[in-house]
Chains A and B, each alone.
Chain A
């Protein structure tokens, strides 16, 4: 169970790791803990799956790359097999099951638009199922940040309510 303090720490670690020689030491000083403790906690959260990654997030479209959202209506009895085929493609960055007739939604990330199209065509061929592509036509907003500080505050309020 994560504490409000954990959530605040993760919120702080969300972005802006300093580009200094000892970035963890710098953050640790700011947070009032030791460099070793901070590294151990990040390691522990990665192992426990609280964090899926820690490092630079590349926006490959700035270098000609392409992200394409795609969806497949997968028959339930084939769901696991199709997921294995889709996930095996190295270009597939995310894949989610969703409640809809189009029940599998994934993102292909490739170095060129042609490579993205080729990955989608290959998935279509290997699964034998139509792949609907939803390339972004326009981006209005992207900010993956979860309201963790708010969540931490909410947790504290709940704890205070429980104690009351």
Chain B
């Protein structure tokens, strides 16, 4: 479902955030020259279609005390990675879990699971849980801790 002109304007107007006023959808509508109701209706449809994941706060995990953020990466046997990926994604503490390509020889890992904790010890405990679940299908792993957010803006569509 490609975006139409109104969708593009709506995304461009709200991707940086909603106006913090009592009637935010009305304010967005005023920017786009439509009633607030049209904004709300389209956002409701977008939520239903999954084009909008959610409407709310994006927390800065560092500021909230989640200072240990590890991208755990795993070299998992190809014939088992999909079944195991589903199970790892379901673990508490795993926020994103994807299968991604290897870049051999430097990068043998094909399963990525983001782990968040208030300390590295917490993250390492989570990684041990993943390791146990993967069992003999796992041929190696690493945890890449983030040490700085260099940019975090989310999506930026050019204006319509």
Contacts and interface: CB of A to CB of B under 8 A. Distances in A.
Contact of B56 (A17, A99, A111): A17
Output the residue of A52, A62, A100 with the most chain B CB within 10 A: A52
A55 B55 contact: yes
B142 interface: yes
A151 interface: yes
Contacts of A106: 150-151
19 contacts: A2-B65, A21-B26, A50-B63, A53-B154, A54-B58, A57-B56, A60-B155, A63-B2, A87-B151, A96-B146, A98-B146, A105-B146, A106-B150, A134-B101, A136-B99, A137-B100, A141-B94, A146-B64, A151-B65
A19 B25 contact: yes
B5 interface: no
B36 A21 contact: yes
Interface string A113-156: 00000000000000000001111111111111111100100100
Contacts of A42: 20, 57
Chain B contact residues: over half helix, strand or loop, or mixed? mixed
B64 A151 contact: yes
A147 B61 CA distance: 10
A143 to B, nearest CB: 6
A20 B143 CA distance: 43
B51 interface: yes
Given A58-B11, A62-B1, A151-B118, A53 B16 contact: yes
User: Interface residues of B toward A: which range?
Assistant: 35 or more
B57 A62 contact: no
A158 B18 CA distance: 35
User: Interface residues of A toward B: which range?
Assistant: 35 or more
B128 interface: no
Contact of B14 (A55, A69, A94): A55
A139 B98 CA distance: 5
A59 B71 contact: no
B59 A148 contact: yes
A39 B26 contact: no
B3 interface: yes
B15 A55 contact: yes
Smallest CB-CB A-B distances: 10 pairs: A141-B89, A140-B89, A15-B54, A95-B150, A55-B18, A95-B151, A140-B97, A140-B85, A53-B58, A97-B148
A23 interface: yes
Given A54-B20, A59-B52, 20 more contacts: A17-B18, A19-B25, A25-B22, A39-B20, A42-B57, A51-B59, A53-B17, A53-B57, A54-B18, A55-B56, A57-B55, A57-B56, A57-B154, A69-B100, A104-B150, A106-B151, A109-B156, A134-B103, A145-B95, A147-B93
